[in-house]
């Protein structure tokens, strides 16, 4: 059992948990993920690590309450336990000194992006960071990200704060030179960023979050096509070269069980099965 | 014709196994074979001739003293009979169900020459179930601790066997299992209707009662590595039983469309995550009307029969060779066909077509013919030019084999590995690194539960010798 030591709400429906898991904390690296199960009848879901503290023996992660599992997870409070966590999984990110790095974090993935950015800054890179969300209320970690960066931008889909959309990046890419770009966020965002950096020949790393069950290479549901080759998101990734990923196929595979996921979430909502009645904690 | 000495009449036919009727069982996940009654078991045991030189024992990978346990059975000393089995085999309820006895102990039974061999596996199962159902599983007395500590990586059939044998010898045993339940392929691979999961849980509980400690959700290699377990965590030896858990794919166009599962994904959803009970369990599965299973092994049979139980209208197994070359157990092929599963032989998929939503809707196959034998000794299937045809399907399960899990090999520096990714050991399970042993599918490639247990047995013996000398 893994005890929750701290819980924060980063934005509406975006929660952040710090959990006691000393052995995972000791081995964790930026870019890796965990597989988590809430209760014995639960599903196994992957969540990208947003932090770890070897001294405290904790790991942390953020999630968006979209399906039954994440809603259940959002109902847990400090002192509650998560039944199963396996990790750290996947290949760690490369965090050496590349020179100038463009870091883009979108939505809930701003949280693991911050961990990544910290490691890159520590390695001596100069960072230009961008955080983005659908609307301004869903932004978080602005100050934390800003203080790591030599240049910092905010973007929202609806233009409620900062730039509208990511098109402004085109201009930045024309003017400035980058040695590497890292994009963590929704598939559409990572696809757009990859398309923008490709003409400039900037190596672009994206992190993929396909459906996973075991997270250790066994089931193959996380298979993705990268450079025409079959890869497993869990063991070959989760980070891949964004210029070679078949994003359209990934979107299609992510949506495979959408009707079932909605049904599961709906039933849970009407049954109001958790202590707080299915509402936010 | 008068005989000089009256001889007891031998019943040539074995007691048949009671089963759920095909039309019933194809709608549920309950166990197909319901097990002998006590009367049937007694009658079957009475067929054993108690040969002075028994052939059956040499056919058993874990060398159970078969005639002895059957003699005790005949004498109705059930407790002693199951204890006799457990001297060699700590997982009898599992082996009684999933061992291919027809290829092993029963193959050399002398009765097989005049009729049917003694159903050794069914008797083993009966005894194990008898003991468990009475809730009086006997725990052997714990020996004095030796002070030695052994880590077992993977709680599948090989790992559990090593754990049991070493715990019984007084060593401290710690099992590390990456999944959230113990059992390995017994829980993620073999379906409920062939091996109920409560039985696996009970046998894993038994091994813990023997003194083994079980850590779940612990992926050795990503958390501590094998060298770290030996150097920092105070283990004197490590056994690797990580199995052949990675799915193979066909590598043909369209394979990543929705509705195409690897057999591993399909069976993990259904068995491990209990998707058949969705939405009570959260993991979903979607089954269409026309299911196609590619492959001819036991995993293909398990997938096909599970698909049928999940409500498929039609399930068709497509295999590139003919019936004779099918690697699945005869019994499982018969069970599948009785349930209404169709087998299409000498055909191989070459591409999949999807609908506008990216879901599979059809599969193009090519007909095959059998050429000269290949290195496996089976005749090699060769495509017949111009014989392509289309099959409509909305769910495809690819069951064309599993490969070794690479995590340990890639995180254990210097460990000798073959070009297929399996770990190199000597015949006793010893790897090239001192104190590191391996066995089961991670050494042999995909094989059977009992052969993994046999390898575990040998490795446990080797580890014990090593620890005693150390």
Q: Do A88 and B222 touch (CB under 8 A)?
A: yes
Alpha helices in B89-231 (DSSP H): 92-98, 120-133, 157-168, 185-188, 197-209, 226-231
Mutate which of A34, A86, A266 to test chain B, going by most B C-beta atoms within 10 A? Answer: A86
Question: Average pLDDT, whole number, for chain A?
Answer: 93
Q: Do A218 and B245 touch (CB under 8 A)?
A: yes
Distance (Å) from the alpha carbon of A85 to chain B's nearest alpha carbon: 6
Nearest-CB residue to B223 (from A24, A252, A267): A24
Task: State the Cα–Cα distance between residues B467 and A259, nearest whole angstrom.
Answer: 55
Task: State the Cα–Cα distance between residues A144 and A146, nearest whole angstrom.
Answer: 6
Q: Do B249 and A220 touch (CB under 8 A)?
A: yes
Q: Do B222 and A253 touch (CB under 8 A)?
A: no
Looking at residues A96-120, what average pLDDT do you find?
A: 96
Distance (Å) from the alpha carbon of A223 to chain B's nearest alpha carbon: 7
Give the model's pLDDT for residue B379. Answer: 85
Digit-coded pLDDT (tens) for B59-82: 888 889 999 999 999 999 999 999
B405 to chain A, any CB pair closer than 8 A? The answer is yes
Digit-coded pLDDT (tens) for B105-151: 999 899 999 999 999 999 999 999 999 998 878 888 888 999 999 99
Residues 6+ apart with CB under 8 A from B74: B42, B45, B46, B48
Question: Average pLDDT, whole number, for chain B?
Answer: 92
Tokens 């092994």 correspond to B297
Give the model's pLDDT for residue B8. Answer: 64
Quick one: pLDDT band at residue B406, thresholds 50, 70, 90? confident
Give the model's pLDDT for residue B377. Answer: 81
Quick one: pLDDT band at residue A281, thresholds 50, 70, 90? very low
Residue B289 DSSP class: S
Digit-coded pLDDT (tens) for A167-191: 999 999 999 999 999 999 999 999 9
The answer to whether the beta carbons of residues A106 and A46 sit under 8 Å apart is: no
In this model, does residue B4 exceed pLDDT 80?
Answer: no
Residues 6+ apart with CB under 8 A from A175: none
- Chain B residue with CA closest to A266: the answer is B279
Name the packing angle between helices B66-74 and B38-45 (round to 10°): 120
Give the model's pLDDT for residue A273. Answer: 62
Nearest-CB residue to B282 (from A69, A88, A216): A69
Q: Do A267 and B224 touch (CB under 8 A)?
A: no
- The sign one gets for the Cα dihedral A245, B283, A220, A44 is positive
The answer to whether the beta carbons of residues A145 and A133 sit under 8 Å apart is: no
Q: Interface pTM (ipTM) of the complex?
A: 0.92
In the structure encoding, which two tokens stand for residue A90, read together?
């996947």
Closest-CA residue to A62 (of A122, A14, A103): A14
Digit-coded pLDDT (tens) for B204-223: 999 999 999 999 999 999 99
Give the model's pLDDT for residue B447. Answer: 87
Residues 6+ apart with CB under 8 A from B329: B100, B102, B298, B301
Q: Do A235 and B179 touch (CB under 8 A)?
A: no
Closest-CA residue to B233 (of B245, B244, B220): B220
Digit-coded pLDDT (tens) for B351-375: 999 999 999 999 999 999 999 888 8
In the structure encoding, which two tokens stand for residue B77, read together?
């000393």
The answer to whether the beta carbons of residues A190 and A247 sit under 8 Å apart is: yes
- Chain B residue with CA closest to A40: the answer is B281
Strand-pair partners of A7: A17
Q: Do B217 and A84 touch (CB under 8 A)?
A: yes
Chain B contact set for A225 (CB, 8 A): 256
How wide is the angle at C-alpha B40 spanned by C-alphas B38 and B45, nearest 5°?
95
């Amino acid at each position: 059992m893994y005890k929750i030591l701290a819980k924060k709400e980063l934005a509406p429906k975006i929660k952040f948990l710090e959990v006691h898991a000393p052995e995972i904390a000791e081995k964790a690296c930026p870019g890796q993920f965990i597989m988590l199960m809430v209760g014995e009848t639960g599903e196994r879901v992957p969540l990208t690590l947003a932090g770890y503290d070897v001294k405290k023996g904790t790991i942390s992660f953020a999630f968006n309450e979209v399906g039954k599992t994440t809603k259940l997870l959002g109902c847990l409070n400090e002192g509650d336990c998560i039944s199963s966590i396996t990790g750290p999984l996947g290949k760690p990110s490369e965090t050496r000194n590349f020179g100038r790095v463009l870091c883009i974090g979108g939505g809930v993935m701003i949280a693991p992006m911050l961990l990544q950015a910290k490691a890159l800054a520590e390695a001596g890179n100069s960072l230009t960071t961008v955080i983005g969300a659908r609307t301004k209320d869903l932004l978080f970690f602005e100050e934390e990200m800003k203080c790591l960066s030599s240049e910092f931008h905010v973007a929202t889909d609806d233009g409620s704060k900062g730039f509208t959309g990511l098109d402004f990046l085109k201009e930045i890419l024309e003017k400035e030179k980058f040695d590497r770009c890292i994009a963590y966020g929704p598939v559409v965002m990572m696809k757009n960023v990859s398309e923008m950096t490709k003409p400039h020949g900037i190596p672009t790393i994206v992190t993929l979050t396909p459906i996973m069950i075991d997270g250790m290479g066994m089931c193959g549901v996380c298979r993705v096509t990268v450079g025409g080759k079959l890869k497993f998101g869990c063991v070959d990734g989760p980070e891949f070269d964004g210029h070679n990923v078949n994003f359209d196929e990934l979107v299609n595979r992510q949506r495979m069980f959408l009707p079932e996921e909605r049904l599961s979430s709906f039933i849970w909502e009407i049954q109001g099965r958790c202590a707080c009645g299915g509402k936010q904690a | 014709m008068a005989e000089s000495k009256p001889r007891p009449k031998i019943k040539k036919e074995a007691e048949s196994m009671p089963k759920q009727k095909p039309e019933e069982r194809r709608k549920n996940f309950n166990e197909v074979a319901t097990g002998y009654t006590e009367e049937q078991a007694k009658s079957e045991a009475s067929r054993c001739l108690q040969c002075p030189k028994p052939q059956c024992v040499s056919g058993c990978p874990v060398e159970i003293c078969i005639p002895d346990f059957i003699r005790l059975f005949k004498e109705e000393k059930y407790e002693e009979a199951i204890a006799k089995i457990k001297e060699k085999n700590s997982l009898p309820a599992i082996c009684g169900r999933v061992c291919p006895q027809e290829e092993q102990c029963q193959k050399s039974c002398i009765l097989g020459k005049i009729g049917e061999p003694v159903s050794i596996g069914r008797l083993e199962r009966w005894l194990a179930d008898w003991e468990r159902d009475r809730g009086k599983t006997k725990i052997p007395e714990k020996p004095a601790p030796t002070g030695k500590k052994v880590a077992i990586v993977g709680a599948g059939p090989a790992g559990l066997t090593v754990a049991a044998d070493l715990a019984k010898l007084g060593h401290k045993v710690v099992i590390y299992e990456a999944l959230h339940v113990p059992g390995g392929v017994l829980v993620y691979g073999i379906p409920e209707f062939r091996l109920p999961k409560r039985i696996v849980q009970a046998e894993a509980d038994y091994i813990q009662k023997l003194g083994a400690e079980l850590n779940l959700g612990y992926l050795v290699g990503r958390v501590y590595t094998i060298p770290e377990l030996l150097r920092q965590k105070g283990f004197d030896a490590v056994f690797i039983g990580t199995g052949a858990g990675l799915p193979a794919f066909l590598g043909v166009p369209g394979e990543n469309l929705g509705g195409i599962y690897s057999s591993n994904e399909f069976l993990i959803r259904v068995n491990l995550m209990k998707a058949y009970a969705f939405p009570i369990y959260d993991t979903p599965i979607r089954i269409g009307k026309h299911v196609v299973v590619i492959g001819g092994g036991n995993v293909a049979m398990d997938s096909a029969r599970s698909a049928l139980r999940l409500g498929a209208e039609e399930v068709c197994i497509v295999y590139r060779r003919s019936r004779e070359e099918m690697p699945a157990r005869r019994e499982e092929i018969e069970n599948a066909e009785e349930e209404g599963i169709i087998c299409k032989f000498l055909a191989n998929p070459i591409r999949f077509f999807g609908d506008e939503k990216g879901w599979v809707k059809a599969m193009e196959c090519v007909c095959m013919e059998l050429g000269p034998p290949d290195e496996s000794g089976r005749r090699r299937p060769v495509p017949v030019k111009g014989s392509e045809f289309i099959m409509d399907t909305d769910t495809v399960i690819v069951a064309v084999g599993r490969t070794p899990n690479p995590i340990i090999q890639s995180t254990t520096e210097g460990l000798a590995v073959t070009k297929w990714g399996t770990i190199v050991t000597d015949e006793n399970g010893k790897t090239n690194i001192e104190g590191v042993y391996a066995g089961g599918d991670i050494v042999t490639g995909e094989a059977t539960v009992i052969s993994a247990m046999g390898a575990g047995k040998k490795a446990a013996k080797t580890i014990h010798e090593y620890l005693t000398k150390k």
